Structure 1
Amino acid sequence: MSTMWGLTVRGICELDGKVLLLKVRSRSSHDANKWEIPGGKVKKCEYFDEALKREYLEETGLEIDIKSLHNVVRNDYTACKTSEEVKSIQLIMKVTCQSDEITISREHDDYGWFSWDEIDEMIENGLLTPAAANAFGKN
């Protein structure tokens, strides 16, 4: 069986020195109750920048501008619906937003704005998803 490859795009949004993270819902089969960077999978025939803007709007209610590439990491996982092994390339972008008014989707239980020191501490304590810890370059 051939390996599936996927593309995920996430955006690190910093506002007033704090970074936005979302808490994965407690009922999730992946990384329940851990914190992650907003974003998601790029759909077939979708440009990755449009995917990031779509995912951000769905997950946070925010409209974003994409500024730069921050990191590229690989995050392998097993697809929930098909049980296929997926090798996922994650593009981690730096983004900006004009507001800190967040409306989370049903994918998440909570959100927060965290300082870089708080994020370092959260990584040390295993509170971030492995993909998010990798994205910040702290693994």
Structure 2
Amino acid sequence: MWGLTVRGICEFNEKFLLLKVRSKSAHDAGKWEIPGGKVKKCEFFDEALKREYFEETGLEIDIKSLYNVVRNDYTACKTSEEVKSIQLIMKVTCDSEDVKISEEHDEFGWFDMDEVEEMISKDLLTPPAVNAFKN
């Protein structure tokens, strides 16, 4: 099975928004990720990204460009099915740094590129986030 995920790299005041996956998550618990999520059936991916971003951060975004495309394979929690996931990483902007995270995440942070690179070296980011920032 193939899936499509869309994520948005948001830069505000030269810092990038990352969300910490909740500690009880079945995938990548405690690691930092780029906001976004799965595209629903018959949903345009840009609308999916705006929906997911708002659900996870409370931020309304504008999509500016394609940043990167990465693949992330995983086992579905509910069905144990192997999923090959293509992740579209979009460059997005927002008008505020006032984030209101959902229950999917334990915390959020705005990090400059040096901090992101340090987090990568310490294995603190999810594999798709690492691959996205290697652009």
DSSP 3-state at the match of 1:120: helix
Q: How does 1:109-128 map to 2 (within 5 A)?
A: 109-128=106-125
Which digits, 9 at most, give the CA deviation of each residue in 1:8-65, with x for residues without a partner?
A: 0000000000000000000001000000000000000000000000000000000000
1:56-89 deviation per Cα after TM superposition (whole angstroms, max 9, x unaligned): 0000000000000000010000000100000000
Give deviations 1:69-112, integer Å, cap 9, x for gaps. Answer: 00001000000010000000000000000000010000000000
1:85 aligns with 2:111: no
Could you list the runs of 5+ residues in structure 1 that have no partner in the other structure? none
- Secondary structure of 2:42's partner? coil
Decide which of 23, 29, 34 is 2:31's aligned counterpart: 34
Normalization by structure 2: what TM-score? 0.99
Provide the rounded CA distance (Å) in 2 between the counterparts of 1:95 and 1:88: 21
How many residue pairs are counted as aligned between the two chains? 135
Q: Which runs of 5+ in 2 are unaligned?
A: none
* Distance in 2, Cα, partners of 1:79 & 1:135: 22
Which of 44, 47, 54 aligns to 1:57? It is: 54
What is aligned with 2:41? 44
Q: Partner letter of residue 114 of structure 1? A: F
Aligned to 1:72: 69
Question: Does 2:130 align with 1:133?
Answer: yes
Q: Does 1:22 align with 2:55?
A: no
- Counterpart secondary structure, 1:56: helix
In the superposition, the TM-score normalised over structure 1's length comes to: 0.96
Matches for 1:4-19 after TM superposition, within 5 Å = 4-19=1-16
Aligned position for 1:97: 94
Shift of 1:131: 1.1
Aligned-residue RMSD, C-alpha: 0.7
